[in-house]
């Protein structure tokens, strides 16, 4: 048990109770997958929920070992608490849940335009393969560490909801030969891919992020699209309000595992890799959803932490009427890059 889950487990035990299945928990940065699932579970319970992700609560319940928190609340999981008592958690929850609709829209649009191959890098406990209405024939590759994917599979075993999509779990550290593992799992680099890199880049150093993007580009057919989350700088302890030792543990985990990501403005970084990108600010996304600014991303502070939600597309090949002429490319039009536009 680590600091985060210790704070979560009532009576110091994670034994299955109330019919809850005991499953080995991910550790280290894998815990962030659970924290994200908690935010989605909490959001799903709201009357004005931005989305409903019923499996998110199954992950939380399985991790904590009980379905019961105080009153009708979710059980506590480290800093995550469903009672409004932690400013840090309120802020993190608004952030993690608030970015979800952006990527839902991106996926629906990208798949609505006929693409049938999705790769989620750092997939964590993402349940979009079940939650979104994906077309038959869609394959969703979920890439994450073995610990996270084992936990996910353990919780879903026996009561996995139906999905029109085929899910393929690829258990590997993204600093290893993940492209080889993905290909071996059936990935087809001749087909356009919908890449989803939500909440991952900050856990990589600039060279690791560059290597990841170069690998993505090397196996992306024309027509591929990409979405990721991007922080403007490293997070720091003074970015987050701390209420108690549970908050301190998560703040330490988040700041110590933050490796800075690409460290270059997103459009320039993606352009260097051959992509045309567009950014959206999380705070503006939340405002459009009628949600307040999370304290973590308060733009009024000096040197504010900002989260940009990025979509990008590869230039599209254009065939000349003369079959022998060299292939030209054109920049993708706005609607190919922008996740908020409706499908053509």
Ligand X SMILES: C[S@@+](CC[C@H](N)C(=O)[O-])C[C@H]1O[C@@H](n2cnc3c(N)ncnc32)[C@H](O)[C@@H]1O
Interface stretch with ligand X, choices 85-93, 193-201, 239-247, 268-276 (CB under 6 A): 193-201
- Does residue 344 bind ligand X (CB under 6 A)? no
Interface stretch with ligand X, choices 42-50, 116-124, 234-242, 244-252 (CB under 6 A): 116-124
Q: For ligand X, give the closer residue by CB, 125 or 277.
A: 125
The residue at minimum Cβ distance from ligand X is 124
Both structure tokens of 40: 């989605």
Shortest CB 127 distance to ligand X, Å: 8
Question: How far is 46 from 44, CA to CA, in rounded Å?
Answer: 6
Question: How far is 100 from 309, CA to CA, in rounded Å?
Answer: 10
Q: How far lies 75's CA from each of 41, 66, 69, 146, 180, in Å?
A: 11, 7, 4, 26, 40
Question: How far is 121 from 196, CA to CA, in rounded Å?
Answer: 6
Helix-helix angle 54-64:146-156, to 10 degrees? 110
Please spell the DSSP secondary structure of 231-269, one letter per residue.
Answer: ESS---GGGS---SHHHHHHHHHHHHH---TT-S-HHHH
As beta bridge partners, residue 330 has 316
Shortest CB 176 distance to ligand X, Å: 8
Measured in degrees and rounded to the nearest 5, phi and psi for residue 247 equal -65, -45
Q: Which of 7, 111, 200, 253 binds ligand X (CB under 6 A)?
A: 200
Using CB under 6 A as the binding criterion, the count of chain residues that bind ligand X stands at 20
Please list every residue from 26 through 85 that binds ligand X, using CB under 6 A. Answer: 29-30, 32-33, 36
Q: For ligand X, give the closer residue by CB, 276 or 307.
A: 307
- Does residue 199 bind ligand X (CB under 6 A)? yes
Shortest CB 120 distance to ligand X, Å: 6
Measured in degrees and rounded to the nearest 5, phi and psi for residue 334 equal -50, -40
Please list every residue from 122 through 151 that binds ligand X, using CB under 6 A. Answer: 122-126, 144-145, 148
Interface stretch with ligand X, choices 77-85, 131-139, 195-203, 269-277 (CB under 6 A): 195-203
Residues that bind ligand X (CB under 6 A): 29-30, 32-33, 36, 122-126, 144-145, 148, 173-175, 198-200, 203
């Amino acid at each position: 048990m680590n600091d985060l889950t210790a704070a979560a487990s009532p009576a110091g035990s994670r034994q299955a109770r109330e019919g809850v299945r005991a499953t080995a928990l991910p550790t280290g940065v894998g815990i962030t997958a659970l924290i994200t699932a908690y935010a989605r579970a909490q959001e799903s319970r709201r009357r004005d929920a931005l989305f409903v992700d019923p499996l998110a609560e199954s992950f939380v319940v399985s991790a904590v070992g009980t379905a019961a928190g105080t009153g009708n609340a979710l059980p506590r999981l480290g800093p995550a608490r469903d009672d409004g008592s932690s400013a840090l958690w309120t802020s993190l929850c608004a952030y993690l849940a608030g970015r979800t609709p952006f990527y839902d829209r991106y996926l629906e649009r990208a798949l609505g335009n006929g693409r049938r191959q999705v790769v989620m890098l750092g997939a964590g406990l993402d349940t979009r393969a079940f939650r979104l209405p994906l077309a038959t024939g869609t394959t969703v590759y979920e890439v994450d560490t073995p610990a996270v994917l084992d936990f996910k599979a353990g919780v879903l075993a026996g009561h996995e909801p139906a999905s029109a999509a085929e899910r393929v779990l690829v258990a590997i550290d993204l600093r290893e030969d993940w492209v080889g593992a993905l290909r071996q799992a059936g990935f087809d680099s001749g087909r356009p891919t919908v890449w989803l890199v939500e909440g991952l880049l900050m856990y990589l150093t600039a060279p690791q992020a560059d290597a990841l993007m170069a690998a993505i580009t090397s196996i992306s057919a024309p027509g591929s699209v990409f979405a990721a989350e991007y922080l403007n700088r490293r997070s720091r302890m003074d970015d987050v309000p701390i209420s108690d030792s549970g908050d301190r543990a998560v703040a330490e985990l988040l700041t110590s595992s933050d490796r800075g990501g690409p460290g270059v403005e997103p459009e320039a970084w993606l352009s260097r890799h051959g992509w045309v990108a567009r950014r959206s600010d999380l705070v503006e996304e939340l405002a459009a959803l009628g949600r307040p600014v999370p304290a973590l991303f308060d733009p009024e502070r000096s040197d504010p932490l900002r989260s940009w939600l990025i979509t990008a597309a590869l230039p599209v090949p254009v065939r000349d009427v003369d079959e022998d002429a060299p292939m030209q490319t054109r920049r993708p039009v706005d609607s190919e890059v922008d996740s908020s536009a409706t499908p053509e």
